[in-house]
Amino acid sequence: MSATNLKLELPQLTPEAEHLRQEVRAFLAEERTSGRLPPAEKIGLGFDRDMTRRIAARGWIGLTWPKQYGGKERSALERYVMNEELLAAAVPVGAHWVADRQSGPVLLKFGTEEQKQFFLPKIAAGDLTFCIGMSEPESGSDLASLKTRAEKVPGGWRVNGRKIWTTNAHRAHYIIVLARTSTVEGSRHAGISQIIIDVTTPGVTISPVWSMAGEHDFNEVLFEDVFVPDDGLVGQEGNGWNQVSAELAYERSGPERWLSSFRLIAELIDVLGPDTRTATLEELGRLTSHLLSLRQLSLSVASMIQQGKSPNVEASIVKDLGTKFEQETVRVVRNIISSEDLVSDGKAERLQKLLYHALTYAPAFTIRGGTNEILRGIIAKGIGLR
């Protein structure tokens, strides 16, 4: 496209991707029929180890990874299609989501041969859950100001510090911690490293941070003189910032950035039935047009990534727009429930439950994984404003 240097391509879904879509839909139908996938009553990635194992049994975790590490060597577009099908159905993928999306790819790109051989097949089998130790009490958007330190000691590293908002730390096996390992004059980004730590190591204390949505997903993770052997270092010492930047890019433009409140629309449409007031149709049509345009954009970015391009600004735009759409969905659905009087009609018991959870969950959409203000800063830079 012509405006500034933003790029867009008409996405071309391959026959393989569409074939996989049908396989996933068949899997979902089976899961629903057997009662293992009831209609969602909550927003957010559910955590269900058995579901993760069933997905792993299909070969769908680590789908794009080399076969030697338990992967299937399928394309990123196929993975994209699989994920949008799973997320739109609110399949509880929380037990493998982070490992599949971030930790695995980081190990694949920067890890040692031993690390790859040890971790990746276990992730692909659905046996290992990872969490990410980035945010700290004093370091949120300004991640480079982190205070967690890893000191070199004989045979390994000694880690001290505190991480927070660590999703699933209490259910995970490993945490990849971002810590300062050295100080480089004049650079805040140099001297930061990624270290992989078994959460059962002595000195690691995990305590819950309950969310306003009534969930215990977040945790505070305290590291007190935690010894990590040398083989826990991921990639090069001091290169953590670059590694994390690549990692964060993976998580910006995927379907999880615009499908979080999708079930709310699906449930609403189910409850509304065929006879709906014009004003409601107009609101619903507007919402759906945003959904369709976001999907088109998100697919376009996935398509460009598949071709080896780096649409970083475009990916940030997907996350900015997608997360705002997720919040807008909650607002619009709430208004329609009120204007159609669905609750007093007794038709909306599950929908109302889902709405209440969504209302309390929604503030997180535009914060997690990088606030929208930070994203817009990245976009502003990308279009040449700074």
Partner 1 sequence: MSENLEFFRDTVERILTDTLEYDAFLHAELSDTIPSALIAALIENGIFLALVPEELGGVGADLADGAAIARAFGDAAAPGPLVETLAANAILAAAGIEPVEGLATLSFAGGEAAVPAVLHDVPWGGVAEAVVVVTRTANGAQVALTKGSDWTASAGKDPAGERRDCLTAYAGTPVVGTIADGSAPLRTASLLRAAQQLGAIEWSFRRSVEYAGERKQFGREISKFQAVQQMLAELAGHVLATAGIVEAAASNPAETLVAAARSRLGDAADSTITITHQVHGALGFSREYALNARTRRLMAWRDDFGSIPMWRVALAAQYTGLSRDKFWPAVSDAANAAA
Amino acid at 137: P
| Residue 121 makes contact with partner 1 by CB under 8 A | no
Spell out the residues 6+ positions from residue 141 whose beta carbon is closer than 8 angstroms to its own. 370, 371, 373, 374
Query: Virtual CA dihedral for 283, 289, 290, 292, nearest 10 degrees?
Result: 140
Site size for partner 1 (CB under 8 A): 66
| Residue 343 makes contact with partner 1 by CB under 8 A | no
| Residue 334 makes contact with partner 1 by CB under 8 A | no
Report, in Å, the least distance between residue 286 CB and partner 1. Answer: 5
Across the strands, what pairs with 227?
Answer: 158
Q: State which residue, 47 or 262, has the beta carbon closest to partner 1.
A: 262
* Per-position x/- string for 49-88, each x denoting binding to partner 1 as judged by CB under 8 A, each - no binding: -----------------------------------xx--x
| Residue 266 makes contact with partner 1 by CB under 8 A | yes
Give the C-alpha separation, 59 to 315, whole Å: 27
* Per-position x/- string for 280-319, each x denoting binding to partner 1 as judged by CB under 8 A, each - no binding: xxxxxxx-xxxxxxxxxx-xx------------xx--x--
Give the C-alpha separation, 220 to 136, whole Å: 9
| Residue 374 makes contact with partner 1 by CB under 8 A | no
Report, in Å, the least distance between residue 314 CB and partner 1. Answer: 6
Helix axes 312-339, 349-361, angle to 10 degrees: 140
Q: State which residue, 4 or 68, has the beta carbon closest to partner 1.
A: 4
Catalytic residue, chosen from 78, 85, 251, 340, is 251
CA-nearest of 258, 250, 233 to 178 is 233
Amino acid at 18: E
- 87-90: long-range contacts at Cβ-Cβ below 8 A with a sequence spacing of 24 or more? 87/255, 87/256, 87/259, 87/262, 88/255, 88/259, 88/262, 88/266, 89/28, 89/37, 90/40, 90/46, 90/262, 90/263
Q: State which residue, 222 or 367, has the beta carbon closest to partner 1.
A: 367
Active-site residue, 349 included? no
- CA 98 to chain CA centroid, Å, is 7
Q: State which residue, 109 or 376, has the beta carbon closest to partner 1.
A: 376
| Residue 21 makes contact with partner 1 by CB under 8 A | yes
Question: What angle (nearest 5°) sits at the alpha carbon of residue 300, between those of residues 3 and 43?
Answer: 115
Catalytic (active-site) positions: 251
Binding site for partner 1 (CB under 8 A): 1-4, 6, 8, 10-11, 13, 18, 21, 25, 28, 32, 39, 84-85, 88-89, 262-263, 265-267, 269-270, 272-274, 276, 278, 280-286, 288-297, 299-300, 313-314, 317, 320-321, 373, 375-377, 379-380, 382-386
